[in-house]
Homo-oligomer: A and B are copies of this chain.
Amino acid sequence: MPPHKPKSKRVTLLDVARKAGFSPSTVSIVLSEAPLSRYVAAQTKERIRKTAAALGYRPDVFARSLRSRRSNTVGVLVFDISDPFCVFILQGIEKTLHGTPYLPILMDAHNDQKRFAGYLDLLMERRVEGLIVVANWLFDEGELLSTVKAEKIPSVVVGRDTSEKELGSVIVDNEAGGYEVMKHLYELGHRRIAVIRGPDSLRDSQRRWAGMQRFAQESGLELDPRKVRTLPEVLDPTSGFQGGLQATEDLLRTRLKFTALAAFDDLTALGAMRALSAAGRSVPQDCSMVGFDDVPMAGFCTPGLTTIRQPMEEMGGTATKRMLDALAASETEVSPDLQLLPPTLVLRDSTAPVRGKDA
């Protein structure tokens, strides 16, 4: 090391100002591209930027935030990051935020109300300017979303219908998805279709079922209530699989015939497939299977699971855009509308035309 002072202090804006021969004000205006920089001569800007680069100047985010009262961060509060469903939503958020001045601060509530509340608090303490909540169905949010609403910052929820709480939200069109499931199975010739619904209390579950019923009505298909099961209201992460497994075992025990099974979601479908396999029935030869969500697993299991794809990345992106818009308009909240995104049917190998005497 040369006999420099070993202090190695950071370069400050003042250093740049001195070196470039302008005042700190001008330098600040130029480097932060404030509105006033319109008036700054082009060559001044040039010179300032060059010396800044030469000195390796990096603004101090804390000083900046302290003075400007803006954190340039948004909070992302996830119910449970281990839900594969969440990950793509996060990617959508991240991609949309990339390029904006906002940095996401991600917190995972681990399906725990207390933790959720604590992290919400923490994010507010860090002065996030906006908030995105990524919900999944396993989580009983209780009054938590009301506390979100109470914070006076633009907030939006992805993955759960929260219109009744006056919070903006973005979800898939579950009703359309349910309709598609039935339509697909019907078109393959299936008429004896079993259904495993989601927990009753869940809006998603109600809408999907409504879509299925609508198709049934329109097409004259009859959905035998004895072949409809409902997942219990448990809230542990693997409950979908377990629930699907047990519901299917239950269905098999009734000895009622069904040539296709529509599951609440992919995990439920995987549980159902396990049960069918244990009973010696193969998919899709003996029973077609449709899931919902299109989590990565759906593509990697054998047979590949035909399912209804939620446009997760797009959902995350859309929610983020709505929040950014509110932020840009310096509004204090996102409009409390429910936004529905269309699902798509993804064909894989778990569904096939009905055969045998049912054909």
Contact = CB atoms under 8 A, between A and B. Distances in A.
Given A125-B58, A125-B61, A300-B270, A84 B81 contact: no
Interface string A198-219: 0000000000000000000000
A122 to B, nearest CB: 7
Nearest to A98: B115
Interface stretch (A27-35, A102-110, A143-151, A163-171): A102-110
A267 B302 CA distance: 12
A296 B81 CA distance: 13
A94 interface: yes
Contacts of A270: 300-302
A11 interface: no
A23 interface: no
- Copy tally for this chain in the complex stands at 2
A238 B297 CA distance: 11
B91 A87 contact: no
A348 to B, nearest CB: 11
A150 to B, nearest CB: 14
Contacts of A277: 302-303
A88 B94 contact: no
Given A61-B125, A62-B127, A87 B81 contact: yes
A330 interface: no
B94 A108 contact: yes
A84 B273 contact: no
A63 interface: yes
Interface in A49-92: 58-63, 65-66, 71, 81-82, 84, 87-88, 90-91
A195 to B, nearest CB: 20
A224 to B, nearest CB: 26
A197 interface: no
4 tightest A-B CB contacts, nearest first: A62-B66, A62-B65, A301-B301, A106-B106
